[in-house]
Amino acid sequence: MLSPEELSRYSRNILLDEVKRTGQEKLSKSIVTIVGAGGLGSPALLYLGAAGIGKIRVIDSDIVDTTNLQRQIIYKHSDIGKEKAIASAENVKLLNPFIQVEGIKARFSEENAKALLESSDLVLEGSDNFDTKFLVNDICVREKIPFITAGVLRFEGMIMGVRPGKDACFRCIYEEPPLPEHVPSCADAGVIGSMAGMIGTIQATESIQFLLSDSKREEGLFGKILQIDSKTMEFRKISTARRKDCIVCGNSY
């Protein structure tokens, strides 16, 4: 049940026909796990927290650095040197004390992945390396947890939603992680801060709509890839298809 103060706080959500009080109560019972509290995780965390997602887990092993502050808007200058998982959780709780936020300082790995994602209604992946992206994909498909993965570099970004057993998974599209020397990182190539904000905000928006829809949302980003080039402001949405020979979600799934 939502308290009178929560009803007031979320009133602009509740006014929407797509949400109403029943939808807001559904959000308050949802569990979302976010892998990576960086440029994408920052805006996603803030908007999911503000929207009233009942429980949010934040997984990150990094420390806040001065170079992060150009795009990782969940942190303040005074957070430099703090653990990202803890600082981001604390800052979301300052924004909304009515939700649960758990900061987990850990590097996402094959050994801890299942336990970290357990009971999640949805996973958001916003890490800065392909090994983590592929691992999140593999574990979520195996455990049948819907997830939204995203990436950003320079002035471009992409978002992809996957409902295991229904949509093409990340490996259906990319198969294997590229060699490190073939894909520059943000530290090497740069990224415009607001681009990370755009992609992370889209992740949050799609997450809210998915959680409200009982997984029946068809017109969104599940089963599709959204590519954005902010230099030209071109948005391109591409439908995906599962591969029968995919080693993760193919015929043996």
Q: Which positions are catalytic?
A: 186
CA-to-CA separations, 247 to 114, 138, 150, 224, in angstroms, rounded: 19, 9, 21, 20
Cβ-proximal residues to 11 (8 Å cutoff; 6+ apart), any chain: none
Nearest alpha-carbon partner for 107 in 35, 191, 202 = 35
User: 35 with 44: CB under 8 angstroms?
Assistant: no
Residues 160 and 158: their CA atoms lie apart, in Å, by 7
* Token duo for residue 143: 């455990």
User: 123 with 206: CB under 8 angstroms?
Assistant: no
